[in-house]
Chain A
Amino acid sequence: MTTGALPHTGAPPVLAVRGLTTRLKTRAGEVTVVDGLDFTVHAGETLAIVGESGSGKSMTALSLMRLLPEAVAFNAGGSALLNGRDLLAVSEREMRGLRGADISMIFQEPMTSLNPVMRIGRQLEEVFEEHKPELSRAQRRARAADLLKLVRIPDPERVLDELPHRLSGGMRQRVMIAMALACDPKLLIADEPTTALDATVQAQILDLLRALQAELGLAIVLITHNLGVVAENAHRVLVMYAGRKVEEAPVAELFAAPRHPYTRGLLRALPNPDAADAGPRVPLMEIPGIVPALSALPKGCAFGPRCPVALPACAETRPELRPVGRGSAACLLVTPAEALA
């Protein structure tokens, strides 16, 4: 368990995102998949972006990496300053230089991100060829082996000569992490990095990410749908619903006192074997209905139609984020007074 306290509060953030807005072109017209998102991540800090499918969490990651195909999606506003440089404004060429060097990303399915017919060592060396052309061949190979050691792969020399399919899912994800860290990035975006893995292997990979963060002072944006992963790995949490931030808070505060009804619903929808005794089975809290289509969002609060405590006003007014406690929440029912309580 991590705590909300951070050693870096005074330093400027590694990444400062303001008003990030991404629109997607669909046959039914354009829809806003990420709507005015603000957040910051500091060195050594993990910010979790949590949400269900369609919440816009993965779109956020792809927008920051500028990996969305131009024919399908475009940036419709906002800035993302990585050490002072706006990721959304730099040229495509500059962005290529930044990707893999200053900002890296790992994905859910490592097998699809690795070239199946190229040896692991070769794929790692390619990253150096791209970003550190001054290294000699032997140096590249030595660096590649060091990287595998860094991600705790036993017998790195042997693994360098393996093809990806010979490795287990967990090992492949370690290789992906090694590739992502090859050029000492400041920021790592991890998009559902353990969703495809088994529970025991997921735990190993998350342990590794925490350890690497402590060693390297990485800033991590952890995108996940799994609240358990959030609780055990993040410092701060940002909850997304229908493309918008609905709540942000330090992790301990979010889990102890969730402010937004959607966050509360998510937490209570999970079975909690730690709290359960052998007694009667209490029904899980349901969030009624389904996530609305982005093309047909209600006028007021997007969560309003599913919200158990919605007021008539919620159908009319779209709630703005307002500070509460040490975070913020976008709900008309959240008042600053509650923060004091």
Chain B
Amino acid sequence: MQQNDSRENVREIVVPGDLLSKSGLKAGPGTYVESGHIYAAQLGIKTTRSDMVGVVPLSGQYIPMRGDMVIGKIVDMGASNWYVDINAAHQSSLHVNEVPWRVEFGETGKFMTVGDLVSLKVVGVDELGKVQISMKEHGLRKLAGGVVIEVAPSKIPRVIGRNGSMIQMLKNATSCRIYVGQNGRIWVDGDLDSMLKAIDAIKLIEAEAHSTGLTEKVEKLLGQKCGKGE
């Protein structure tokens, strides 16, 4: 704990309106510029990288970005499209042209129905926040079996870890199939015990996302659980 406190100072938490830089740096995400000065626009951790200063948000809703892999839930159907909840501010529509099957007009329900979960890719976001989604890419499919849990979208980078290290560790330790959506939904499939173990670990990551030494904590949890189970 003491070690934790001493390192806390390095990761500076900023509040909207905090002055980040007076000049010389570029304004990164989570900031705004007023009369040449850069201020924080969001509650988060200040990050300075070479010539840019930004804020990594600690909370906030999922904001769709082009190229994001997300997990969507079918909430309604049309004759040639499905309406999908992707955990963003607006519902989005998945057109039959964007799925890997040939769907006749009016037969959308034969392929996916309300309540189904699907992995999707965000192919475009327009200036009105309207999101175009697609399933036409390798690996995108209807998610059958398993469970989907929701975590705060701002915590997703920690669940994945640097170059996917955290998620790889989870997969190896629990031998579950795990699919992480950028929108804060995580699909976990495996046998019951290992699924519960993986969910516990993900919940721990969510709760402790902003603390240091996260990897060790997760390792410890996974190790303990493995020991108990066998």
A and B found bound together: no
Binding site for B on A (CB under 8 A): none
Listed in ascending order, the chain B residues whose CB lies under 8 Å from chain A are none
